[in-house]
Amino acid sequence: MKEYTTEFLRNIALVSHGGAGKTMLAEAFLHVTGATTRLGKVEDGTTISDYDDEEHRRKISIYTSVIPVEHRDHKINVLDAPGYTDFVGEMVSALSVADGAVILVDAVAGIEVGTELAWRYADQFNLPRFIVVNKMDR
């Protein structure tokens, strides 16, 4: 990966309630940009961002992962933050360094506690944000 000046560097936090699909969206970014040749699966423990043994065992994110992707002469650091409220400190840390937030909403479950927390914390940091409604195929 080449070096980038700050004008071509962005930090984007993926935040939401647990299980909304943040990690799989990060996997899709990696795959679409050519950083990986396959999509990992949370169930199989093969995602790039869930690297810890405990994350593999629980099949959830516990730590924020930095996923660097290159797109159109920019380096985008995708911050895949855990969604379960036990790990809200990780979400807050990710949002504190982000340039913007992607807030995922599970189409089946709707807006949940973690979704509302993500919105409030993004608001506290005055971050631009957009909503991704995920799992529309269910």
Does the structure show a pLDDT above 90 at 136?
no
- pLDDT tens per residue, range 62-109: 889 999 998 889 999 999 999 888 899 999 999 999 999 999 999 999
Which superfamily does CATH assign the domain made up of 6-134 to?
A: P-loop containing nucleotide triphosphate hydrolases (3.40.50.300)
pLDDT given for residue 64 in this prediction: 92
Residue identified by tokens 């979704």 is: 115
106: left (phi over 0), alpha (psi -120 to 50) or beta: beta
Pick from 76, 71, 138: which is nearest to 109 by CA? 138
**In sequence order, which residues have a C-beta less than 8 Å from that of residue 93 and are 6 or more positions away?**
64, 81
Mean pLDDT of the chain: 90
What is the percent of the chain with per-residue pLDDT over 70, rounded to a whole number? 99
**Mean pLDDT throughout 111-129?**
97
Query: Which residue ranges make up each domain of the chain?
Result: 6-134
